[in-house]
Structure 1
Amino acid sequence: NFVFQILVSIYQKLPPLYDFDNYDHCLAQPSSTYCLVFAEIQSNIYNDIWLNIENLSKDLLHHFRHENLFFGVCIDQCKELLNYMTPLEMESYSANSSLDNEITNYHGRIHKRQEDLRNRLLYQNLLENCLNYRFQQKYNLSLRTNIEYCENSERTNNFDALDITFATILITIIILNIISSLYDYRLKLQHATVTGNNDFYKNKIPEPAINQLLTSFSICRNYFRITTTATPTKPQHSDLNFTYAFRVFALFIVILGHCIMLIMSVQIENPEFIEKYYYKAETMLFQNGSAIIQIFFVLAGFLLKLNFDEKRLISKDSSFKMGLFVYIQCFLNRYLRLLPSLLMVILFNATFLIHLEDGPFWRHTSESEYIFCREYWWKNVFMINNHMLEDSCSQHTWFLAADMQLYELFLFTVILTAKFEVLRKPLYILLWILAFLVPGLLTYFYKLDAIHFLKPETFRYLYFKDTDTFYLTYPQFYCNMGGYLVGFMCAEIYLKVLLPQKHKLSKYRGFMKFEIILLFVIFLTGIGLLFSGNLVLQNNFEKPSVWLSLYASLYRNIWSIFGGFILLCMLLKMGWIAYEIACLPIFRILGRISFQSYLWHVTILRILGGFYRQPIYLNEFYVVKSLKLDAVLFYSLQVGQIILAFILTNFVAFFVALFVEYPITGIIHYILKMEIPKNQNGEIGNEMKPHLAQIHV
């Protein structure tokens, strides 16, 4: 509170980070123009305001760079302001040098329409003189400026061939859904034994097999596939019902974190509201919470190993040719299932997104996606964008690329160990060594931070600025191997220990005191892991540091082991009321659409954040508090923003899953499906079944 009071007293004298003329009033006039301008305050050691700005901006761990400002300027107002000035007077308000830095170069790579280039030439001097006149009159400080883009009142939406192509794809999908649904309804009428209800759509598709293909886009059938809450027939499958809640919980944390990033990148009236929470220890709960995404990797590794061993696709008698065939088929099954949904997001961002809204900050918020999805889509399609994250489309899909690369690595591992059992232990040991060693070595030799710390300036300009730690260690598959490996270990323990000893271990369930203590220990351990980042930040180790490298090696891997422990507890149905909640039917539905939710949530957040006309005023009325403590845990995070984002994301995800993902998955399964001759021991013979159970991430 003391720090906040000091900040407020200082901020009352500082220029705002965002200062916008009225956008709609400006463009309501004929032939008017509105420009978004990025500006940098020039140093003046004799000015008290500048000294305050300089002192605040030096502390990038807690503060924005207050010399970097954004202005929304109506050209007509500037012309009126400068109309009576002589050329000599206007020259006095010109900057001594042009503004050219990393931020303006980034804006130049995005806003490169012909009208943007023309407007920069046409209005640069006018806006520089206008803003300097205003600024010097009020603060006695000068600015260097750069026009990001301008909007004209006579602007029109121009649709090109790619827009038309995507619209055609959408219309085709709608037509396919209608035709397939009508065909499925016709099949229903042909079966006299079927009653008038919708049970027909819940049952197996009637022969011949071609009906599976023809009903793949059936809305009714796919609806019941998504919304069914029936208990699986196999006991080991019913044991996994809680995993849907794991996905939903991890997804909610991801959306929450990205909401924080969104609020830091849109126009804010009172940035001190955000900055004060960087002085609180509780902030580390969110700064270090990015490791929670390891839950996805743990689940993916667990399900890969479980499904592979359950289907016994490879045995010690399998040939090299068989192993290669299994690998290719499993890879194609997974890649082709992910690719169509990914392409839908890329195409939407590259076409329709930019046309949805307008406003002074809309192009600033959305145009990077529009440009990068058109130019660098191939990074996502070939799933290598986690290694080429700068200037990439839908940056959050680095996870899909990393997961796909880990899937390829561990699919090879599970095939090799199924064929050569003797290699299992040394191969696991090697992978464990690499999982711990690689992050530490990268941290040491590249002089990185031990954790990716989201500073106020990190994502303010809608790209990750000055954060080598993020680019070099966060999205790389070799820095996330621990999660997949823990999942493998959990599958081994489940299949070889928990399932055979299921009845003996069940005696530990139902002891309320034991389960409450277990929950309490898990909660404290998780909080302790999250708070451990304070030790790294407070000590401010000189780089390269052995201690930072050690922490980088341990943290995500320990978090993965912690997640694996919770997974095993849930497999034993321990966890008291937490287990009961995790098995609620609603999570099965939300879990089935969680892949689409992950893909679309950033697009939803951009839409929610891009329509504001004026800077947003944040206050504690809109912020989540914890246990009535003054410490606000979800700092600067509007409750309505999170809830709205989560609801809209799942709403969009449901319909994309219904109309696109599930139909295309059905087609892929039809194409790849084949009969599997097995020997008398029930093992795979000379052919394999490429239909692995779906592993949603």
Structure 2
Amino acid sequence: MEICFVLLILFIHQSYGIIYRLDDTEYKLMPPLNYIDDYDSCLQDSDALYCTMQLKLVSDTPNVVMDLITNYSAWDLKHFDHSKLYRGVCVTRTCNMNKQEVTMNLNNSLETCMNEHLWKQYKLKAKLLTSPYCYSAERDIKLDFWDIIVGSICILIIIVNIVATLYDIYVYKKPNTKGMDILLSFSIIRSWSRLQHADYRIKQPVERLKGMDGIRAIIMIHFVFGHSILPLVIVIANPHDFEKMYSNISCHILLNGSLIVQAYFVMSGILLSYNIKRTTERNTMTWKNVTNNLFKRWLRLIPSFAICLALESTLMRHFGAGPLWQLLGTRVNEDCRRYWMWNFFFLANYNSGSYCMPHTWHLAADMHMFCFGLIVFALVRNKFWKRAILASAFLIGIISSGIVTYIYDLRTLMTVKPNSLLQTFTKDPNFDYLYKPTHTNAPAYVIGLITGVLIYRLQKSQFDIQKYKKFRILYWMLLPTTYVILVLNIIHYQDGPPLPSYIRVFHQMLLRPLFAAMCAAAIVGFVFKIENFYRAILEWDGWIWVAHVAYTTYITQFTVMGLIVNNTKTLNVFSKYILVQAGGITIVTFAVGVIVWLLIDGPFSNIVKICMETPTTNKQSAKLK
């Protein structure tokens, strides 16, 4: 033990107060980061009391173990905060206390129980960080007014779908009327047919954009798979193995995958400007057209989004009962009730510190930039002012990214720190000030807007790309180059001081525009058929349904993950097999996305089309979502 102690002191001295690495023997000198007693076994006792809690380690006197914890946790880029412990304790067994005795003075009783073990083995004490959350064998579920309302709405939607489907099968034989079309929009048979088809894929010249279905589908699979790892690593039995993962270069494709969202902004910008240019060929757009398009887009997005938000605010709290429920479930429910308006009106990307559906920041940013692009392209007639506005938005995005990086001393675009995972990136300066604001993502959208105009003009001029096919090798290099960019971000995770601030500032100013430009180049390439390998993959008809359910899968994925975390009864073990588990979660998430699309998103989108489009409306101009 003395030898380990001497080696430890030498290690700390050489690291100048920060410990970057520990071997397994040294790591075991610290208390386990997470520990939970058997939940189901505990609650089999009629008088059982099971409590989960977060603890903060403290020491009244100088303590070698506490110094080790402090110095090791200081490197939060790769390490968990080992001074904060998570415990799930069967109080009536582990603490040998009866239920009545504990509940009389809950906090003191739990601290006494935990400190007995910590002091005996580590000469440390702990204090409760948050109020404990306790379960007993008798769980009393009380539904409030909003629980009943939301539950009734969900049941009503299911009933309407069933009635419409049965009517479609057994009764409906008359010619279509508007009222009948609205009812039959809820027919699952018709929704299933719409799910597998896309009319725009056979209409010239719009069909040349069908490769975007493939991009949207592939990126969404990447997104959901990457996010599906989160519920498996939030509370794990072997955190040291997870911390070692940061030294594995291949893992940085997932760790730095947040950059890929820029492709969505590029595609959204392309579709907007391209469709506006086609619409204004025949009609002049006015403020009325702009407000109608904005309202139509909001109506298309809000039904499934509102149902998901309502469920998170109400009924979801009744679907969690595991020892990890307090860590995530209660906070999500409370914040969704408190901040629901921020989400409902797509302002969540400027609401810091909320656990309510944090992944929907992208929808808010996209909505804001859709409004911006629609106004600029529909209403600004003067070419000089239109270009000046776009250039200004582009520069604001680049400059603000650099300023934020400098002020908050940020390392990279989205630093995936272990502690940030525990908090689902809430109150993370990278996430709040650099990654999710609309203005810092504007360059990608502007590039998309410009690319949409470019594609439209090249199509009108009968552009022939054959003479440029000698550059196909450069086009083929786009995909591997994007992965190289993702992997190269490992330099920001290197042990030691960060790169000089001016390098990090310029890196953040140029990273997203560069990636967006590469995405735009790839899209232009397949639109004009520069090659056939990538194009054949992206234009495969099998992507249609995945692209259709991308939105519903995206908004429901954290609900699915929340159910998994909240009902987990044991600590997960981090290993290579976790990728298989994440694959299973991905499949389940897409299945939920399909169900939500069939019951809610598909029917309501069709109703919006029926009610808001006139016979003379160019239906392709409505494909702005």
With normalisation by structure 1, the TM-score equals 0.81
Match of 1:134 in 2: 117
**Cα root mean square deviation, aligned:** 2.9
Check the 8 A contact 1:450/1:549 in 2, yes or no. no
1:120 deviates by: 7.5
Name the SS for the 1:459 alignment partner.
helix
332-341 or 468-477, larger mean C-alpha shift:
468-477
Shift of 1:34: 0.8
AA partner of residue 450 (structure 2): M
Aligned partners of 1:451, 1:219: CA distance in 2, in Å? 42
CA deviation profile, 1:279-323 (whole Å, cap 9, x unmatched)? 3444443333211001111111111111111122786xx5xxx62
User: Are the aligned partners of 1:329 and 1:690 in contact in 2 as well (CA < 8 Å)?
Assistant: no
C-alpha separation between the residues in 1 aligned to 2:102 and 2:620? 56
Choose the corresponding residue for 1:337, options 300, 303, 307.
300
Q: Tell me the distance in 2 between the aligned counterparts of 1:463 and 1:388.
A: 13
CA contact (8 A) 1:60 1:456 kept: yes
Supply the distance in 2 between the matched residues of 1:314 and 1:445 (Cα, whole angstroms): 49
Quickly say closer, same or farther: Cα 1:181–1:617, change in 2 above 3 A: closer
Instruction: Say if 2:495 is the partner of 1:566.
Output: no
Note the alpha carbon deviations across 1:539-594, whole angstroms, 9 max, x for none: 84588x33322222111111111111111112123454332222222211110111
Measured after TM superposition, the shift of residue 423 of structure 1 is 3.0
Task: Give the counterpart of 1:226 among 195, 198, 201.
Answer: 195
Of the three residues 451, 455, 465, the one matched with 1:505 is 465
Following the alignment from structure 1 to structure 2, what is the Cα–Cα distance between the partners of residues 658 and 281?
40
- Structure 2: runs of 5+ lacking an equivalent: 1-18
Alpha carbons 1:314, 1:415 under 8 Å: kept: no
Aligned residue for 1:402? 365
Picking from 357, 381, 393, the partner of 2:356 is: 393
8 A Cα contact 1:264 1:456, kept in partner: no
- 1:278 aligned residue (242, 246, 250): 246
Q: Paired residues, what number?
A: 605
Instruction: Summarize deviations over 1:234-267 as a string: whole Å, max 9, x none.
Output: 22232122211111222122223323433342x2
* Alpha carbons 2:278, 2:621 under 8 Å: kept: no
Partner of 2:603: 663
SS at match of 1:433: helix
Match of 2:210 among 241, 246, 251: 241
CA distance in 2: counterparts of 1:591 and 1:255, whole angstroms:
13
Q: Contact between 1:440 and 1:552, CA under 8 Å: does it hold in 2?
A: yes
Q: Distance in 2 between matches of 1:231 and 1:673?
A: 16
C-alpha contact (below 8 Å) 2:304/2:600 kept by paired residues: yes
Q: Which residue of 2 aligns with 1:199?
A: none
* Match runs of 1:207-606 below 5 Å: 207-228=176-197, 232-265=201-234, 267-312=235-280, 318=284, 323-417=286-380, 419-465=381-427, 467-498=428-459, 500-502=461-463, 504-506=464-466, 515=472, 517-518=473-474, 520-536=476-492, 538=494, 540-541=497-498, 545-606=501-562
Give 1:633's aligned residue: none
Measure the CA separation in 1 of the matches of 2:104 and 2:214. 54
Q: For residue 67 of structure 1, report the CA deviation from its aligned partner.
A: 1.6
1:122-201 to structure 2, matched below 5 A, reads 122-146=105-129, 147-185=131-169, 189-190=173-174
C-alpha distance 25-232 of structure 1, shift in aligned 2 (>3 A): closer
Structure 1 contact 229–585 (Cα < 8 Å) conserved: no
Shift of 1:79: 5.0
Native 8 Å contact 1:64 1:457 kept in 2: yes
In the alignment, what sits opposite 1:59? 75
Give how far 1:48 is off: 4.0
Partner of 2:6: none
Q: What are the superposed Cα offsets for residues 342-376 of structure 1, whole Å, 9 maximum, x if unpaired?
A: 10111121223222242111232322222222221
Aligned position for 2:623: 694
Q: Give the deviation of 1:64 after TM superposition.
A: 0.9
Report how far residue 505 of structure 1 moved: 1.8
Gaps of 5+ in 1: 84-114, 191-205, 623-637, 677-687
Q: Give the Cα separation in 1 of the matches to 2:31 and 2:22.
A: 16
SS of corresponding position for 2:85: strand
- Cα distance in structure 2, aligned partners of 1:120 and 1:294: 51
What residue in structure 2 maps to residue 203 of structure 1?
none
Structure 1, residues 602-647: CA drift from partner, whole Å, max 9, x if none?
1111222332222222233x1xxxxxxxxxxxxxxx1222211221
**Paired residue for 2:3?**
none
- CA contact under 8 A between 1:62 and 1:279: conserved in structure 2? no
- CA deviations over 1:442-501 (Å, ceiling 9, x no partner): 333454444221111112144524x21221121111111112111112112211125533
Paired residues of 2:352 and 2:426 also in contact (CA < 8 A) = no
Residue aligning to 1:86: none
CA displacement, residues 62-109 of structure 1 (integer Å, 9 cap, x when unaligned): 2111121111112212552799xxxxxxxxxxxxxxxxxxxxxxxxxx
Residue number among 21, 38, 61 corresponding to 1:22 in the alignment: 38
> 1:194-253 CA distances to partner (integer Å, 9 max, x unpaired)?
xxxxxxxxxxxx443333223221221111111126783322232122211111222122
* Secondary structure of the structure 2 residue equivalent to 1:28: coil
Match in the other structure for 2:570? 614
Paired with 1:422 and 1:519, the residues of 2 have a C-alpha distance of: 32
Q: How far apart are the structure 2 equivalents of 1:119 and 1:310? A: 71
> How far does residue 508 in structure 1 lie from its aligned partner after superposition?
5.8
1:272–1:536 Cα change, 3 Å: closer
Task: Report if aligned partners of 2:269, 2:446 keep a CA contact under 8 Å in 1.
Answer: yes
The percentage of counterpart residues that share the same residue type is 24
- 1:12 paired with 2:28, answer yes
Counterpart secondary structure, 2:422: coil
Please state how far the C-alpha of 1:536 moved relative to its aligned partner.
Answer: 4.8
TM-score of the superposed pair, with normalisation by structure 2? 0.89
For residues 524 and 669 of structure 1, the distance between their equivalents in structure 2, rounded to whole angstroms, comes to 40
Residues 10-60 of structure 1, C-alpha deviations (whole Å, 9 max, x = no match): 223332111112211221111321111211222477544334323321211
* CA gap 1:298/1:187 in 2 versus in 1, 3 angstroms: farther
Distance 2:342 2:118 in 1: 43
SS at match of 1:464: coil
Name the CA shift for 1:240/1:615 in 2 (closer, same or farther; >3 Å): same
Query: 8 Å contact 2:42–2:90 — kept in the other structure?
Result: yes
Deviations 1:623-673 (A, max 9, x none): xxxxxxxxxxxxxxx122221122111111111111111111122222212
Structure 2 residue aligned with 1:108? none
Maintained 8 Å contact 1:245/1:583? yes
Report if aligned partners of 1:284, 1:534 keep a CA contact under 8 Å in 2.
yes
Which residue type is aligned with residue 586 of structure 2?
F
Q: Is the 8 A contact 1:314 1:323 kept in 2?
A: no
- Give the conservation status (yes or no) of the 8 Å contact 1:184–1:215: yes
Q: Does the CA-based 8 Å contact 1:330-1:690 persist in structure 2?
A: no
Letter in 1 for 2:603: P
**Residues 366-400 of structure 1: CA deviation (Å, up to 9, x unaligned):** 22222222221111111111101312521111111
Q: Distance in 2 between matches of 1:367 and 1:674?
A: 46
Distance 1:121 1:295 in 2: 56
1:120 and 1:324 map into 2 onto residues whose CA distance is 63
Tell me, what secondary structure is at the counterpart of 2:35?
strand
